[in-house]
Amino acid sequence: MTPPARRFRLPRGLGFLLPALILVGAITVVPVVRIVMISFGDGLANYQELFQSGVFWSTLRITVEISVASTVVCLLLGYPFVYLITSFRENVARRFLLIVVTTFWISLIVRVYAWMVILGRNGLVNDALVGLGLVDEPLDLLFNRVSVIIGMVHYLLPYMILALYGGMVGIDRGLTVAAQTLGASPLQAFRRVYLPQSLPAVFAGSMLVFILATGFFVVPSLLGGPGEMTLSVYMERQTFFLNWGSATSSAVLLSAVSIVLFVSMDRLVGLDKLFGAVRR
Amino acid sequence: MNKKAATTTPVVFMAVASLIAACGEPTSAGSSGNDRANEQPDSPADIESLSGSVNLNTSGGVVDEIWEESWWARFMDETGVEIRTSSPADLSRLRAQVESGNVEWDVTEISTGGQYLEAVEQDLLTELDQERFREYFEQLGGDGDDLMPEAVATHGIGHAPFATILMFDEREFPEGEPQPSSVTDLWNVEEFPGPRCIHEQALYNLEIALAADGVDADDMYPLDVERAIGKLDELVPHIATFWSAGAESIQLVADGECVMSTVWNGRPFGAQNEDDIDYLGVAWEAGIMASSYWVIPRGAPNPESAYALLATYQLPEVGASTANQVGYGNTNTATDELIDEDARPFVATYGPNLEVLTVQDEQWWYEHGESAEERFSEWRLAQ
């Protein structure tokens, strides 16, 4: 089965990779290393200070809450969509994906302002509700947790869909049919045959969306109310006072949380399955 | 690892290293030359001798368009030096530039007095040669005696003073009926009901809250942060949201998200002139007056042109052109006379406005700003 052992050889044409490596090295690796170095500039002092700050813990909690909620909503919206389109012929499914991808053409700021127009006190929704006589006073739809999650889901849903599609397109629908011919109800067939196979995609999509969500700045700061101060907003505030120690250590901790989550998910379900799926 | 891999890896790192070095090179060579110029200005100040280009970093926004026609055009006419602009004003980037020896800005704005003092403390700025500044100023046709005492500080030029005041929606509180007359009317929810918006930082709130709680302007400092927070607590049920960028405050009132909001004094005036938004009323009483600064970063590539650029800024015609359109002048006493009659009430330094404003204590904010902001954030998050 396994190919005979042979000397490891670098792939040909490595030179083509050099420009990309240099670029990534110069504009990603170097700054990240600098950030980590600044955060440990006074030993562990920055981290100790951070752990004692009530604001840090509150913003971390808010960041995790908002990110988890956005991830769950994306999953609930994305999974049925992908389940449906993966049952279509591939060229039809691709057309649906193309529509999903076109939403990337609209910048985040424009979308956020669009939501302000839609959800505002004199916005479309409130005008309609008041006009139809359903409510007397405009509802407070904007500047709260829900409006932040709406804005984030709007942006993150395509990522969830693409990740789910990559993992779920390779699942053989014939297996569910086979289960049903052997006496399983449609629900049983889905739960015991299809769902377990789609879990790696679910985890991968959730991980991707969650990690992206933890870094959001514009959406919580424009669509959020008093209580929607996320860790990235806190970091920006710290740099205002040139408090680089606190800002960088928050950034390092946030990245550490993401990395730990990613690695443990990988151990648990093997995310490589997902990335391998497209090759099938 | 085979031989090829062993040779490739160092090559990659060397390439990365040399790329980084290359990025830093031109400016560091430039700044070493300028350090000499800073220490011994052996050549006399002469606007005719200036050349090259100067990089100006502003906080951006509508005022840039006015400056382009008044300040920058005048400077380029006088000196032939080209101006390149960028924004926003960001102290963090200033520090990164100075510390890496890769200074890109010749002049940058610093938006608060506390931040200015912080930058002085961290040795990020060029100490100004007062004489040299005045020489340039007079060569440009200015009169040195007109400059206000705060016009030329040790490390910066006093920008126009600005005030955080109250803006309200006249569609809600029309003329002829009772209108808010003080920033403390934020708390007057009986007479002026409706959602409010306030700034997201303690810096633009604490003095107002204390004034609303009955503290006189004279007894304001040192600020009683806990007392201010206690007063802000009363406002919580009526706060729709917090704003951060100046344009946001206008947007929030124009969209009807709040019936009143704190605002920087130039914004409603600018909205009226530029966007024909004519329903914004303002109240100055108990507002906070503060200043921002123009500074020359330490190691700026073209400090001589920076001096001349700052000197041009203080010319009365230049200050009046912005004051007439957005309500921010400069720190030259001769400017006042050139400001249009109907623009004067919108300028922070206009006599009747000055009387009712609290002048922010930069030193207090420099010393206590960070802990005050931390407390403010804590309060905000507890809601």
Residue B341 domain-assigned (yes or no)? no
Torsion of CA B344, B347, B352, B356, to 10 degrees: 160
Per the DSSP assignment, residues forming a β-bridge with B176 are: none
The reply to whether residue A242 touches residue B12, judged by beta carbons under 8 angstroms, is: no
Does residue B78 share a domain with residue B180? no
Cα separation of A88 and A102, whole Å?
Answer: 20
What is the maximum alpha-carbon separation in chain B?
Answer: 88
Interface test with A, best of B11, B121, B172, B241 (most A CBs within 10 A): B241
Mind listing the pLDDT tens digit of every residue in chain A (280 residues)?
Answer: 455 556 666 677 778 888 898 998 889 999 999 999 999 988 899 999 889 888 899 999 999 999 999 999 999 999 999 999 999 998 999 999 999 989 888 999 999 999 999 999 889 999 999 999 999 888 889 999 999 999 999 999 999 999 999 889 989 999 999 999 999 999 999 999 999 999 889 988 998 999 999 999 999 988 988 778 899 988 888 887 788 888 999 999 999 988 888 888 778 766 665 555 444 4
The reply to whether residue B2 touches residue A9, judged by beta carbons under 8 angstroms, is: yes
Residue B231 domain-assigned (yes or no)? yes
Q: For chain B, what is the domain count?
A: 2
Q: Which two tokens stand for residue B244?
A: 């951060």
Residue B342 domain-assigned (yes or no)? no
From A62, which residue of chain B is nearest by alpha-carbon distance? B381
Sort A145 into a burial class: Cβ within 10 Å, 0-12 / 13-18 / 19+.
middle
Residue B21 domain-assigned (yes or no)? no
Q: For B80-103, what is each residue's pLDDT tens digit?
A: 999 999 988 889 999 999 998 999
Min Cα distance B343 → chain A (Å) is: 32
Does residue B150 share a domain with residue B96? yes
Q: Which two tokens stand for residue A152?
A: 């984030």
Interface test with B, best of A109, A146, A237 (most B CBs within 10 A): A237
Interface test with A, best of B232, B243, B374 (most A CBs within 10 A): B374
Cα separation of B221 and B252, whole Å?
Answer: 31
The reply to whether residue B95 touches residue A242, judged by beta carbons under 8 angstroms, is: yes
Min Cα distance B242 → chain A (Å) is: 7
The reply to whether residue A225 touches residue B241, judged by beta carbons under 8 angstroms, is: yes
In the Cβ-directed half-sphere of A262, how many Cα atoms lie within 13 Å? 12
Q: In chain A, which residues have their Cβ closer than 8 Å to the Cβ of B247?
A: none
From B110, which residue of chain A is nearest by alpha-carbon distance? A240
Residue B39 domain-assigned (yes or no)? no
pLDDT of B39 strictly over 60: no
Output the pLDDT for position B296: 97
Determine the distance from the C-alpha atom of residue B56 to the mean position of all C-alpha atoms in its chain, rounded to a whole number: 14
Sort B325 into a burial class: Cβ within 10 Å, 0-12 / 13-18 / 19+.
buried
Min Cα distance A227 → chain B (Å) is: 5
Does residue B213 share a domain with residue B314? no
Map residue B303 onto helix, strand or coil: helix
CATH of the domain at B252: 3.40.190.10
Please give the helix or strand (H or E) that residue B292 lies within, else none.
Answer: strand B280-295
Min Cα distance B293 → chain A (Å) is: 16
Output the pLDDT for position B382: 83
Q: In chain B, which residues have their Cβ closer than 8 Å to the Cβ of A243?
A: 370
How many C-beta atoms surround the C-beta of residue A272 within 10 A?
A: 11
Q: How many residues does chain A have?
A: 280
From A59, which residue of chain B is nearest by alpha-carbon distance? B381
| B64 against A273, higher pLDDT | B64
Q: Which residues of B155-186 are buried (b: 16+ CB within 10 A; e: fewer)?
A: bbbbbbbbbbbbbbbeebbeeeeebbbbbbbb
Cα separation of B147 and B141, whole Å?
Answer: 13
Residue B324 domain-assigned (yes or no)? yes
Percent of chain B with pLDDT over 70: 89
Span B337-361, mean pLDDT? 89
pLDDT of B41 strictly over 80: no
pLDDT of B24 strictly over 60: no
Specify whether the CB–CB gap between A242 and B92 falls below 8 A.
yes
Cα separation of B23 and B17, whole Å?
Answer: 10
Output the pLDDT for position B37: 42
Q: For B175-207, what is each residue's pLDDT tens digit?
A: 999 999 999 999 999 999 999 999 999 999 999
Task: Closest CB to B12: pick one of A21, A116, A120.
Answer: A21
Min Cα distance A258 → chain B (Å) is: 23
Cα separation of A123 and A113, whole Å?
Answer: 11
Predicted structure pTM score: 0.80
Q: Does A116 touch chain B (CB under 8 A)?
A: yes
Min Cα distance A10 → chain B (Å) is: 7
Does residue B259 share a domain with residue B233? yes
The reply to whether residue A226 touches residue B95, judged by beta carbons under 8 angstroms, is: no
Output the pLDDT for position B350: 84
CATH fold of the domain at A44-111+139-277: MetI-like fold (1.10.3720)
The reply to whether residue B383 touches residue A142, judged by beta carbons under 8 angstroms, is: no
Which residues neighbour B242 within 8 Å (Cβ) at sequence distance 6 or greater?
A226, B197, B198, B199, B200, B380
Does residue B299 share a domain with residue B276? no
Task: Give a three-class secondary structure readout of B34-77.
Answer: HHHHHHCCCCCCCHHHCCCEEEEECCCCCHHHHHHHHHHHHHHH
The reply to whether residue A116 touches residue B241, judged by beta carbons under 8 angstroms, is: no
Determine the distance from the C-alpha atom of residue B35 to the mean position of all C-alpha atoms in its chain, rounded to a whole number: 27
pLDDT of B282 strictly over 60: yes
Q: For A154-158, which contacts have Cβ atoms below 8 Å and span 24 or more sequence positions?
A: A154/A103, A154/A111, A154/A115, A155/A108, A155/A111, A155/A219, A156/A70, A156/A71, A156/A74, A156/A209, A156/A212, A156/A213, A157/A74, A157/A77, A157/A78, A157/A100, A157/A103, A158/A100, A158/A101, A158/A103, A158/A104
Does residue B287 share a domain with residue B210? yes
Q: In chain A, which residues have their Cβ closer than 8 Å to the Cβ of B118?
A: 241-242
Output the pLDDT for position B342: 84
Does residue B303 share a domain with residue B264? no
Output the pLDDT for position A275: 55
Q: Does A89 touch chain B (CB under 8 A)?
A: no
Amino acid at A215: G
User: Which residues form the domain of B360?
Assistant: 162-291+351-381
Does residue B372 share a domain with residue B266? yes
The reply to whether residue B380 touches residue A229, judged by beta carbons under 8 angstroms, is: yes
Task: Closest CB to A58: pick one of B122, B195, B381.
Answer: B381
Does residue B227 share a domain with residue B92? no
Does residue B68 share a domain with residue B115? yes
Q: How many residues does chain B have?
A: 383
Torsion of CA A130, A136, A141, A146, to 10 degrees: -120
Does residue B52 share a domain with residue B149? yes
Which pLDDT band holds residue B62 (cuts at 50, 70, 90)?
confident
Does residue B375 share a domain with residue B229? yes
Residue B30 domain-assigned (yes or no)? no
Task: Closest CB to B378: pick one of A26, A55, A242.
Answer: A55
Task: Closest CB to A237: pick one of B15, B95, B377.
Answer: B377
Q: In chain B, which residues have their Cβ closer than 8 Å to the Cβ of A244?
A: 92, 95
Cα separation of B59 and B50, whole Å?
Answer: 25
Q: Which two tokens stand for residue B1?
A: 């690892």
What is the maximum alpha-carbon separation in chain A?
Answer: 78
Q: In chain A, which residues have their Cβ closer than 8 Å to the Cβ of B244?
A: 221
Short-list A258, A262, A254, A260, CA closest to A50: A254
The reply to whether residue B20 touches residue A30, judged by beta carbons under 8 angstroms, is: yes
